[in-house]
Structure formats: C-alpha cells, structure tokens
Structure 1
C-alpha cells in the first residue's frame, strides 16, 4: 500500500512539473507581461499599402527571429536620408518599427549614414509623382532675390552632363547684361542613379562651390521624371524670384540668342499671364503603345492636346509659376512635361502666345551660316562642341546680315 502511494505521488509531481513547464515556456510568452516576449510593433500601418489601421492587422509573423531595426532620428526625417541602425530590445514602452529583414534592404549600409540608393526603375509611361514634397539638396535661395534680374534662364540638365553646362557657361549663359537688362543663369538637376552615384554627386557638389549656379532636387533625374523637374523649377521660381520679370526654360542642347530674346520681351511681351515659344496647336495624342510619347486612353482620352509651348525652349512671365503650381493640384500629371504645362494653362484659362515671328523659335535646322543664328532666338544643336563652334563663329568678324 505504501509503495503504491509513493508511485501515485511521483506521478502527481511529474504532472504538476509538466504543467508548470507548459505555462512558463509555452503559454506565458503570449502574455504581454512575459519577460521574453518581444515588444509589439508601434508603427502606424500604411493604408496606401493595403494595411488595416486596426491593431489586429499587424501580422504576428513580424515577431519572429528577424533582426531589430529602428529609424534613426533626423530633423523631421525629411532632409536627411533614412538610416537604419541595429538596436537591442528595450522596455515595452519604447516605440518600435516593424521587424525588417535585412534581405529586404540590400542597399542599406548599417555603418554609414548615406545608404547607396537602388538603381532607378521606371514606374511606367505615365506615372508621375506630382504634386509631392520634393526638397532642394543644392540651392541658391537669395541670388535671384538679391540680383533682381529681368530674365532668369533655367536649364534642366542631367547631373553627369557637365560638358553641356560648361558649353552653356562659355556661350550664351555668360551674357549677364543685355540691352541694359540683368540676365541670370541656373542649371536644374535631379539625383543620379546607378553606378558611381556617390562619386558623381561629389563632383556636382564641387561644381556648385565653383560656379554657384546649380539647383538640385531630390527626385531621380530621368526622362520620365521631366514633369517633376519642370514643376520643381516652377516652385523654385515662385519662391526665389519674386521680383524678376521673365524666365525661360531652355534645354542644354539649344543655341540661344539672348539679345533677340530680350529685345522681343521689351517690345512685344505682356507683363503677366504670358508664355511663348514654338506653340503646338492641334497636336494629336498618341495612343500607340510603340510611340515614345504614348499615353493610354484611360489616362488621357482626348484626341488632341490643348495648345502648349514646346519644351525645348519657352519664355514666360514670373506671375505664372505660382499659378501653374496651384493648377497642378487640380490637373492629373502626365510624364510629357510640356503637354502637362499646356493642361495646367488650360485649367487657368490662359493660352500660350505665338511669337511675333514664326522663325524666332526653331527646332533642328541643320548646319547654318552665322546669319541664321543672328536672326533666331533658339535652335537645336547636336553637341556641346557645336555650340562652342557656332558661338565662336558668330562673334568673329563676318559679312553683314540683313
């Protein structure tokens, strides 16, 4: 009897021990007060990614053995690239991001502040992230305000294309006073992508220190982001050049006769609600997917674009940038930047103005003599070297042009 009693007692103690182990190791970790339980995520779910705002929507699988990461503090996390640093679990009252697997962040370097950006991947033929909060990495915030120019020349150019910038600086961009009017030049850049990004950015920073004429914003510089580039230009002009009279957007591969441009503005141009250049009227919308300028019908169902000034070079009064930025909040963005400005102009009820002569703003004209360049305002050239050659020939003694 005593032996049987001892056997029962041993079995009872084993069962009690198993139950204690069960609650200690398996059950209690699900209790929020358990010391081994990982603090839950406090990140606010993002509805744009299909995440529910309720706490139940945060997947429990985020509490696995992945590495902890926390976003490093920066001023509003806006002007400094995000850095992720490895941290130890802390008290439950601390704020945590969701667990992020390192495999999901191939470009993050934990030992450096500036992570290498991933190569740019085009979002598609018509996806444009504008309006959005783009900021300036390089800026000349007071130069336009202090110098109070009559005309501001804005040249969008890729970060790598220093040859084009130097050619412009050595030719028409060097003209600072024309017909008694002050003229100022700025180049507008986005961010480079791909290989050797950091080395290229260092060169851009050095060039900015040397010339003080570079404006750089934090969008990827690419063909399909030209609308972003154009609207960032309008934002800059609206905030930085309140007292200037006119601005011209002109591509870096263009010849520009600044004298003829200023002469036209003085004699023939209105003081507000004015944009002029090579104006396209009745341009067909290309719904053919094989076209470089393809727009799907569901994005833009109209058959003809409203009038717009071709993007190779157009001039406008400085009251327009603020109005165009405001209009952009009501007009769906498309990636064809000059067409988009035309859509914003239509929203404002303002029509681009034809120049006083049809031959002033020209596209590609091929090889021409010096008299051609003396008569036009703009024309397309092939290379930076051709611009240097044309400029040199134009300023040498030659026959009188009529």
Structure 2
C-alpha cells in the first residue's frame, strides 16, 4: 500500500476532528504536520501530492531528510529547531502522532495550571530497560548505550513542552550521543540538562493502550491511541455532541 496515502488519510482525519479546533478557552491553537522527504520509489509523484496538499491546507512543514522510522530523532530535532525559530510568541507545543485521539479541551485545562518554564510532560517512562534483543525494534547494543536502564523520558506518541525548552534541547543534543529512538534521545538531553520531567499525578491523561470509548472518560483524558482512524473520527464527533459528558 502507498504509505503516503495512509498518512494523508491520517492527516485528513486529524484536520476534520481535533485539529479543526483553532480557539479553545480563548487560547489560539495551531496545527502543523512535519514531513521529511519521500522514499526513492515514486518520489516525484509523492512529492507532487504533498505540494498539492500543502497548497490546499497550508499546514505542512517539509524538511530535507528521508522520512523513516530510523530518522525520527532527526525529525524531532527539526521540530525543535522550527519551534525555536517560528514559535517565540507561543507558550507550549505538543508533539503528537497523527493516529492519536487528542482532547484539546483537557490539554488546555492542564496547561492553564502548568509551569511555563522547563516543562515537559506526557506518559513518562521511568526505569525503562534497554532492549538487548537484536530482533527488537528498540534494540540498542551496549557499545551504543552501555547503561541497562534509560533515564526518564516522555513517550513519543504525545508529549507537551514549554517553549523555552527547544533551544535548551538543541544545545543539550550537542553533548549527547545520538540514538535513533527519538523519545529516549530527548530524555537523554533532559538528563544532561538536569531538567526533570513532569509526571502527571493523574495517570489516565495520556494513554499508550487504547482506552475503550466512554463519553465521560474521554471528556477527561488528554490523549490515547485508537484502533483505527474511523474510531478517532467517531469518538471525537460523539464527544462533541451537546449534553453532559458524565452522568450525575
């Protein structure tokens, strides 16, 4: 299957659901998709489609690296450089995968009480073991990463940062050995900078495992994985219907 078509479908699902929310509780919300360069096969045709999509929606940022899993650390640092350059008047940014369900209201509610400096939160992994299994997607040999456990890091499916951090992370990245697991790499940069991550006391806000849809629960969580793009769209539409979210 054409992977670009899949991701275009995911971007369109975001655009018609939580990405369509531009003003929440008097706060301006902006949405952007960061892409790298398409692979060699069918590159020109894919690039043409990307340009057409950009003309249509004006929400695509494209950078000069091959868009692949192994290049996610590059992608993440491009995001940080872009935020440092173009978002100096904003307070927070959230990096989130396009196949996630996001409750923007819950996100803003959390941020209204959040620190404006040295703040990074999400689903924080503490004491995560380094995989030494060569067949694992997350394998790192000892000569690349000698320690057996990672310092705390926020899972890459969705995390929030205060916008003083991008410049600090760019500086920290110069002193940290790069690993291709991008959320771990950001955690290593935070460890180097000696800036602790904020672990949410409410562990139900960010979810790695798909939360079965329940109107009340979805009105309180911030982000969760979903089984399909159709679920993502349906859950958002249902949540936006008038009436109380939780029964008394």
Q: TM-score, normalised by structure 2?
A: 0.95
Offset, 1:372: 2.1
Which residue does the alignment assign to 2:177? 332
Which position in structure 2 is the counterpart of 1:94? none
Return the structure number with greater relative CO, CA threshold 8 A, min gap 6: 2
Distance 2:187 2:130 in 1: 13
Larger radius of gyration: 1
Question: Which residue among 194, 199, 203 is the counterpart of 1:354?
Answer: 199
Distance 2:136 2:234 in 1: 34
Unaligned runs of 5+ in 1: 1-157
Counterparts of 1:144-223 in structure 2, within 5 Å, are: 159-160=4-5, 161-223=7-69
Local SS of the residue matching 1:208? helix
Q: Does 1:249 align with 2:88?
A: no
User: Any unmatched runs of 5+ in structure 2?
Assistant: none
Superposition pairs of residues 80-95 of structure 1, within 5 angstroms: none
What is the CA deviation profile of residues 10-50 of structure 1, one whole-angstrom value per residue up to 9, with x for unaligned ones? xxxxxxxxxxxxxxxxxxxxxxxxxxxxxxxxxxxxxxxxx
Aligned-partner Cα distance in 2 for 1:368–1:211: 30
For 2:4 and 2:88, locate their aligned partners in 1 and report how far apart those are by CA, in whole Å.
27
Q: Counterpart of 1:386 in 2: which secondary structure? A: helix
Distance in 2, matches of 1:258 and 1:334, equals: 31
Q: Summarize the Cα distance change of 1:396–1:380 in structure 2 as closer, same or farther, 3 Å threshold.
A: same
Alignment partner for residue 240 of structure 1, among 86, 100, 103?
86
Alignment counterpart, residue 212 of structure 2, candidates 367, 373, 376: 367
Change (3 A) 1:397 1:227: same
SS of residue matched to 2:219? helix
Q: Match for 1:259 among 93, 105, 127?
A: 105
Between the two proteins, the alignment pairs up a number of residues equal to 244
Residue of structure 2 in register with 1:138 after alignment: none
Alignment of 1:89-128 (within 5 A): none
For 1:395, the equivalent position in structure 2 comes to 240
1:170-207 alpha-carbon deviations (Å, 9 max, x no partner): 00001111111111000000111132211111011011
Classify the secondary structure of the residue corresponding to 1:285: coil
User: 1-side partners of 2:245 and 2:184: how far apart?
Assistant: 39
TM-score normalized by the length of structure 1: 0.59
What is the SS of the residue equivalent to 2:112? Answer: helix
The question of 1:345 aligning with 2:190 is answered: yes
Distance 1:344 1:204 in 2: 32
Contact 1:253 1:382 in 2 (8 A): no
